[in-house]
Chain A
Amino acid sequence: MTLPLQDILAILPELIVIGTACLVLALDPITPPSHKDALAWLTLAALSVCLGLTSSQMSVRISAFSDIVVIDPYASFWKILLYVVTGLTVLLSLAYLKAERLHIGEYYGFILLTLSGMMVMVSAADLLTIYLGTELMSLSLYILAGLKRADSRSLEASAKYFVLGAFSSGILLYGISLLFGVAGSTRLSAIAAATALRGVTDPILMVSMVLLTVGFGFKLAIAPFHMWTPDVYQGAPTSVTAYMAIASKAASFGAFLRVFVEGLGGLRGDWYQLLLVLSIITMVLGNVVAIVQTNIKRMLAYSSIAHAGYALIGVVVAGKLGGGAGSNGLASVMLYLAIYAFMTLGAFAIVGMLRKGTLESDEIQDFTGLAKREPLAALLMLVFLVSLAGIPPTAGFIGKLYIFMAAVNAGLAWLAVIAVIFAAVSAFYYLRIVMVMYMREPELSVTPEPRFEHSPALSIVLACALAGVLLIGLFPNMLVSLAILAVPLMK
């Protein structure tokens, strides 16, 4: 059997990423520790090639390997977002790994493997392929989470993530197998046809829909499937935490939306109600529990849970309305996650690089009086926190505006009211960090004093995150039209 060249070309970005990953892993043993940075630059070069390839095919719509993989604007949107996030994470890692004295070249290889898994997730049109992508992403992340081998919290994070992740993968697989039983195929198009044929009242369809929701719920870290999140986010190296919180959430949303819209679109009258309940639980739990956290990585973990709850509102709208108005709901989700990426990455970059000697200072009290010691870092953190709280003129406001707008359009103004009330709650814990940074005097007794470790790579990361937060906040046109172009059409 010969592989058609056309199909190979369609997945060229994936191949480049996987090839570079192998190259990095192979080169790592023969690279002296002082030159490990070269592997990061190799990674970045591969990413920029992929970025160029994918953005040149932004409006292309093709399918490959007998419809297992599709290249459409929707997949390209997520891929571009993933390249940008991965590139910035690599830059952040350059600074972070050096500060942590972790001279591990495989790191970049695993980052690329994670990325390739995510890319498969967002462009697969077949449940098994999606599952493969999910596993590739998750397995690489389990390793990355445990990378600080000397730190028991990092190992705990890795183990916990693995056990719960494997459990959730099992549930996902169970849902997939039930759907296979119904449709006789794992193609999303075949499942959509089977759903239309069987009608929406079929209990097996219901069960498999619920199982898929649970399985994806773990990956998306929405309540009540969020239990792993705080421990893993706290224990994992901060650059990995940022990557998990942003890229893995974005890719999971990408796959989740495609499965539920293209595969289970016929059941949208049912799943939107389920997701509506989950979205409320997620917003309430994430925002309320975040208030009592004393560790900033845990706080950001709960905040990322809450943000997934806001994004879910857009999915609920899509399920309730369907059609063009439903697509607007999906576009608001995509927009929200793109914005969320920049502000969360900025916040994690600051957290990771604020250090007490060789140790990370990730307790909220370490931020005390930061404005006096590190005015620029404090100001950047202020901007990212304000954006996370959704206050204009930052990008966070634009994200919330579109989500709430979709909700009001779907006659869910009451849901928007719940969301804004908890957005006000979230302002309380975000502003607590601002208060600690700006309104408390630095504690002199703390030794060594938390300092911010500057480096050129970090400056690029922070500049990009800041530009993303402010430019999208002030001129969202481009991103909005991109999201509208990329959104899948709903029936």
Chain B
Amino acid sequence: MSDVTTFPWLTLIIFFPLAGAVAVCLVEDQQARWIALGVTIADLVISLPLWWSFDSGSSHMQFFEHVAWIQTPPINYSVGLDGISLPLFLMTAFLTPFCVVASWSAITSRVQGFMAMLLVMETAMLGVFAALDFVLFYIFWEAMLIPMYLLIGMWGGANRLYAAIKFFLYTLAGSMLLLVAILVLYFNGGHTFDILALSRGTYSASLQTLLFWAFFAAFAVKVPMFPLHTWLPDAHVEAPTAGSVILASVLLKMGTYGFLRFTLPMLPDATITFSKLMIALSIVAIIYGAYMALAQSDLKKLIAYSSVSHMGFVTLGIFVLNQQGIEGAVMQMINHGITTGALFLCVGMIYERTHSRLIKDNIGLAGPMPRFATCLMIFALSSLALPGTNSFVGEFLVLAGTFLWSKIATALAALGIILAATYLLWMVQRVVFGVPAAHGDNRLVDLNPREMATMTPLLILVFWIGLFPNPFLSRMHTSVGKLLNGQTDVLGARMTPVHFAEIEVKASRRVIRDHQDGINSGR
């Protein structure tokens, strides 16, 4: 909280897209596209300095801003970033321009409305990751429901009405319980909505249990954790490409971010109590999601279920409650955002050409579309955590963290990686290398420069994080360490015998060093 910047940098980044949304409403279709692109890119540019000016050695909230907003009860506009929220904040700013570009030719009706909704979404998403006041967080969290509902419902597929209302009601019902939990915390945590102050408070075990489940209702629906995931395949399949990218890349992360920012620091005892159950649900999600993905004939549904599986890794990493697990989880949140977002972009590109998302209609694209086939291949390999790509770093760290907790759990979770390889490679085998049936009269053209321009930065990031993850990890070390330090007592008790755990930590560090140049988990 020490870094009070004089210039409201974060506020500018958060609300600039909102101003863009207003501007977009006033112009013609084509201009709306350009304005939206300009605004999102400008927003990315002004947010990049955060990456370099972030002080990795500090666990304080940085770029902190605080303005009193409502007097009774004290609700403040306070924003700031730490090592956990910074990567997510930047990832959001990074991915939104791709959503605009992906909608360039795919969205032809009511373009201004579409772009305005995207920009409103960006403001809300950035706000969620930066908010340091619980009510402010809740306002941003809820404010994105309506734009997302409209994105799915107005520009979605055939069954969009059902998918949109299902998405809306699932998430609303969960987050309304969060509101009550926030208010209960207010009265038990010293009459404040300040997230940092609430995180320092101690709450009775029974209260923690109740709050844990209220938080769970909100966050687990968003993640989505098994068995609350059923809205996801519907929403993904019906949403337009940009909607799917935002859903997969950012919205799902808000759930896991909620666990990290609220559940773990505020409710440590309940977290320990229920961590076994959460881990079990995570492993079920990993395996179940993977099996469901195997059975899909629709590409979007396949990736949607793979998201359930991959997000299982994230929640697994969070609830094993050690440094490797949580850092792996945060890494995996970023990686999943990039890789799955890219896969949805790929499906969107196929759909624009063949107007079908079914695998059987899109067989053997390597011949007519070599550039596309290469991109799809790379992102699929990244998704199955091939060493050298980004997801390997995250999933490896999660598995290393899980190994410290239970070898059986690790083995079961690793099964998910094998299954991921199965469904993804099988998909790639058919879509890229299959023998094409008669393609009808579709004329398949390879990626145009605009589409290559969206793929290239994502490809670079896949390998950059895969080969040099240290800049990412180093920025989260201190914050994750602080998150866990709040719970050392309980954790220490659980990880007995201590020396055994230490050996394991060392062993896993060595393994990481051996496999990945550049990863340095030593602190």
Q: Which A residues are within 8 Å of any B CB, using their own CB?
A: 382, 386, 391-393, 397, 401, 404-405, 408-409, 413, 416-417, 420-421, 423-424, 427-428, 431, 434-435, 438-439, 476-477, 480-481, 484
Q: With the chains together, A392 CA to B73 CA distance in Å?
A: 17
Is B153 part of the binding interface, using a Cβ–Cβ cutoff of 8 Å? yes
Q: Is A408 a contact of B184 with CB atoms below 8 Å? A: yes
Interface CB pairs A-B, < 8 A, 20: A391-B145, A393-B139, A397-B139, A397-B142, A401-B183, A404-B183, A405-B183, A408-B180, A408-B187, A417-B177, A420-B179, A424-B172, A424-B176, A428-B165, A434-B149, A435-B165, A439-B153, A477-B70, A480-B72, A484-B72
CB distance from A484 to the nearest CB of B (A): 7
Measured as residues with beta carbon below 8 angstroms from the partner, the interface class of chain B is 20 to 34
Whether B27 sits at the interface, judged by CB under 8 Å, is no
How many Å from the CB of A402 to the closest CB on chain B? 9
Complex: A393 Cα to B139 Cα, angstroms: 6
How distant is B222 from chain A, measured CB to nearest CB, in Å?
A: 15
Question: Chain B residues with Cβ under 8 A from A391's Cβ?
Answer: 142-143, 145-146, 172
- Given contacts A386-B146, A393-B139, A424-B176, whether A405 and B186 have CB atoms under 8 Å apart is yes
Given contacts A386-B146, A424-B176, 15 further A-B contacts (CB under 8 A): A382-B146, A393-B143, A397-B139, A401-B179, A404-B179, A409-B187, A413-B180, A416-B183, A421-B173, A427-B168, A434-B149, A435-B161, A480-B70, A480-B71, A480-B72
At the interface, yes or no: B169 with Cβ under 8 Å from chain A?
Answer: yes
Query: Does the CB pair A413–B184 fall under 8 Å?
Result: yes
**Interface membership of B138, Cβ < 8 A:** yes
Q: Is B225 an interface residue (CB 8 A)?
A: no
Q: Is B160 an interface residue (CB 8 A)?
A: yes
B164 interfacial by beta-carbon distance below 8 Å: yes
B154 within 8 A of partner (CB): yes
* Secondary structure type dominating chain A contacts: helix
Contact count A vs B, C-beta below 8 Å? 79
Taking a contact as CB atoms under 8 Å apart, the answer to whether B139 and A420 are in contact is no
User: A353 vs B168: C-alpha distance in the bound complex, in angstroms?
Assistant: 29
Q: Which of A404, A408, A431 contacts B168 (CB 8 A)?
A: A431
**Any A CB within 8 A of the CB of B111:** no
Q: List B contacts of A416 (CB < 8 A).
A: 180, 183
Contact of B135 among A401, A439, A480 (CB under 8 A): A401
Q: B44 on the interface (CB 8 Å rule)?
A: no
Interface residue from B138, B139, B160 paired with A439 (Cβ < 8 Å) = B160
Q: Is B150 interfacial (CB-CB < 8 Å)?
A: yes
Q: Are the C-beta atoms of B176 and A421 separated by less than 8 Å? A: yes
Least CB distance from A433 to B in Å reads: 12
| Given the contacts A401-B135, A424-B172, A439-B161, A417 and B180 also touching, CB distance less than 8 Å | yes
**A435-B179 in contact (CB<8A):** no
B172 CB contact (under 8 Å) in A405, A417, A427, A477 = A427
On B, residues with C-beta under 8 Å from A are 70-73, 135, 138-139, 142-143, 145-146, 149-150, 153-154, 160-161, 164-165, 168-169, 172-173, 176-177, 179-180, 183-184, 186-187
Known: A393-B143, A408-B184, A416-B183. A476 touches B172 (CB 8 A): no
Cβ of B164 to closest chain A Cβ, rounded Å: 7
The smallest C-beta distance from A485 to any residue of chain B, in angstroms, reads 11
A476:B70 contact, CB within 8 angstroms: yes
List residues of chain A with CB within 8 A of the CB of B169: 424, 427-428
B contact face: mostly helix, strand, loop, or mixed: helix
Determine how close the nearest CB of chain B comes to the CB of A475; give it in whole angstroms: 8
B contact residues around A382 at 8 Å (CB)? 146
Contacts of A392 in B (CB 8 A): 138-139, 142-143
Q: Which residues of A contact B172 (CB under 8 A)?
A: 391, 424, 427
In the bound complex, how far is the Cα of B148 from the Cα of A386, in angstroms? 13
**CA of A416 to CA of B172, assembled, Å:** 15
Give complex CA distance A423, B165 in Å: 15
Q: How far is the CA of A260 from the CA of B184 in the complex (A)?
A: 28
Inter-chain contacts of A481 with B (CB < 8 A): 71-72
Residues of B within 8 A of A397 (CB): 139, 142
Distance of B17 from chain A, by nearest CB (Å)? 15
Complex A-B, nearest 8 residue pairs according to Cβ-Cβ distance, in ascending order: A420-B176, A392-B139, A408-B183, A424-B173, A439-B153, A416-B180, A392-B142, A424-B172
The residues of B that contact A401 with a CB separation of less than 8 Å are 135, 179, 183
Give Cα A408–Cα B193 distance, bound, in whole angstroms. 14
Please give the distance in Å from B121's CB to the nearest CB on chain A: 14
Closest Cβ of chain A to B213, distance in Å, is 11
Chain A residues, Cβ within 8 Å of B70: 476-477, 480
| Residue of A with least CB distance to B142 | A392
Task: State whether B153 touches A438 (Cβ < 8 A).
Answer: yes
Shortest CB distance B127–A (Å): 10
- Give min CB distance, B371 to chain A, whole Å: 36
CB neighbours (8 Å) of A417 from chain B are 177, 180
The smallest beta-carbon distance between A174 and chain B, in angstroms, is 39
Pair B176/A405 contact, Cβ less than 8 Å: no
CB contacts (< 8 Å) of A428 on chain B: these are 165, 169
* A423 interface neighbour in B73, B161, B176, B187, Cβ under 8 Å: B176
Min CB gap A339→B, angstroms = 14
B residues in contact with A435, CB < 8 Å:
153, 161, 164-165
A393 to B173: give the CA distance in the assembly, Å. 17
Expressed in whole angstroms, the Cα–Cα distance for A484 and B146 within the complex equals 32
Query: Which residues of chain A come closer than 8 Å to B184, judged between CB atoms?
Result: 408, 413
Contact A420 B138 (CB under 8 A): no
Bound: A413/B179 CA distance, A: 11
CB distance from A364 to the nearest CB of B (A): 14
When A438-B153, A439-B153, A439-B154 are in contact, do A477 and B71 touch as well, CB less than 8 Å? Answer: yes
Chain A residues within an 8 Å CB radius of B135: 401
| Contacts A439-B161, A480-B71, A484-B72 given; does A431 touch B186 at CB 8 Å | no
Closest to A410 in B: B187
**Residues of chain B lying within 8 A (CB to CB) of residue A423:** 176
Residue of B nearest to A432 (CB): B165
CB nearest to A392 among chain B residues: B139
